[in-house]
Amino acid sequence: MTETSARTGKTTPLHAVHVDLGARMTPFAGYEMPVQYAGIIEEHLAVRRAAGLFDVSHMGEILVRGPHAATFAQHLVTNDVDTLYDGKALYTVMCREDGGIVDDLIIYRLAADEFLFVVNAANHEKDFQWMIQHNAAKAEIEDISDDVALIAVQGPRSLPIVEKALGEAFGDLTFYHVRPTRSPVLAGSDLALVSRTGYTGEMGFEIYCHAGTAVSVWKTLMEAGQDEGLKPAGLGARDTLRIEAGYCLYGNDITDETNPLEAGLGWLTKLDSADFIGRDALVAARDEGLERKLVAFVMQERGIPRKGYEILAPDEVPIGLVTSGTQSPVLEQGIGLGYVENDPDFTSPGSELLISVRGRTIGASVRKPPLHKA
């Protein structure tokens, strides 16, 4: 059994590229990452209307191999790993015994005995140790994060850009599927993959390649997208895009103090499938009834909700807290996510809430994501 981790770097393989492009850099999850290049709104709208190019090489990649790899994965996560086949991916969470979320992640089945776990950068080392500590199946676990770069192309023009850059057709690669690529652009990589996944709510692709080829892959994509409206995009746009789409961010909307049922992730929590860590606690939570629920909302007046702002009922009784908030570049309105008491009067689409913003209360309406398409 191999259980190794050696991540020590604080910059991605594309750091020099970001600096050359004039990106504003900031510390994030132990890395110096680009927040923005031309500006968050411009980058955000480029993704919604054409395409954006993201460096997400700070994410963690962990390979799980061996005859017991599937058994290990099934016990670790809430979704049903047995539904996977070669080239299929699923979004899921790992939970503690009490149902709290360790992390949200994507699992790719590369072969019957090989799975790729892609975890959040901020939780990378914690997740790796959690996997080792709960490896009763004796699977082979290897952290390959330092050797892998991850580049995302997101937006309605992403397909022709990726096809032109890599010289392959990907029109038949459907959502949450992945396949190896033999493109010479990714030559020399033991893990050269293209997946139809992303974190923006738009059509898009994520390209896994060897860290040593990251710069050439990035530049080839930029060249292929120069007539398609492709722009480099940073963490700022990544955040506004995911809030518009209603996607959770670990540390804000989901933590080890929240469970997937209250976070609206019941669809990936298969309580009636095989046993997994935290299942008993989640069954009990379901049967007893949830005390709170994560909702998405749109502000009815000018004002930007921020993490930690209080959410109130129409009679101004406090009922929850904002977990994520921003100004939507598409709607040109404040939008956010937050937990409120689990009452249909507060959680149903169309429900009216109040958000306390810097000493004044502003009306908000609960909406079903994606918010930018409401």
CATH architecture of 1-284: 2-Layer Sandwich (3.30)
Give me the mean pLDDT over the 129-134 stretch. Answer: 98
pLDDT at 187: 72
pLDDT at 1: 30
8 A C-beta contact, residue 194 and residue 171 = no
pLDDT tens digits, 307-364: 999 999 999 999 999 999 999 999 999 999 999 999 999 999 999 999 999 989 999 9
Angle at the Cα of 237 from the Cα atoms of 236 and 240, rounded to 5 degrees: 95
Domain boundaries, the chain: 1-284, 291-374
What are the tokens at 136?
Answer: 């009763």
Q: Which DSSP helix (H) or strand (E) runs through 285?
A: helix 279-288
pLDDT over 70 at 3, yes or no: no
pLDDT tens digits, 61-85: 999 999 999 999 999 999 999 999 9
Place domain 291-374 in its CATH homologous superfamily.
Aminomethyltransferase beta-barrel domains (2.40.30.110)
Query: Predicted confidence band at 190 (pLDDT cuts at 50, 70, 90)?
Result: confident
pLDDT tens digits, 147-160: 999 999 999 999 99
Measuring CA to CA, how many Å separate 336 from each of 53, 240, 301? 24, 10, 13
b/e code 102-132 from CB counts within 10 Å (16+ = b): bbbbbbbbbeeebbbbbbbbbbbbebbebbe
pLDDT over 80 at 224, yes or no: yes
Give me the mean pLDDT over the 230-236 stretch. Answer: 98
Query: Predicted confidence band at 374 (pLDDT cuts at 50, 70, 90)?
Result: low
pLDDT at 132: 97
Q: Which DSSP helix (H) or strand (E) runs through 253?
A: none
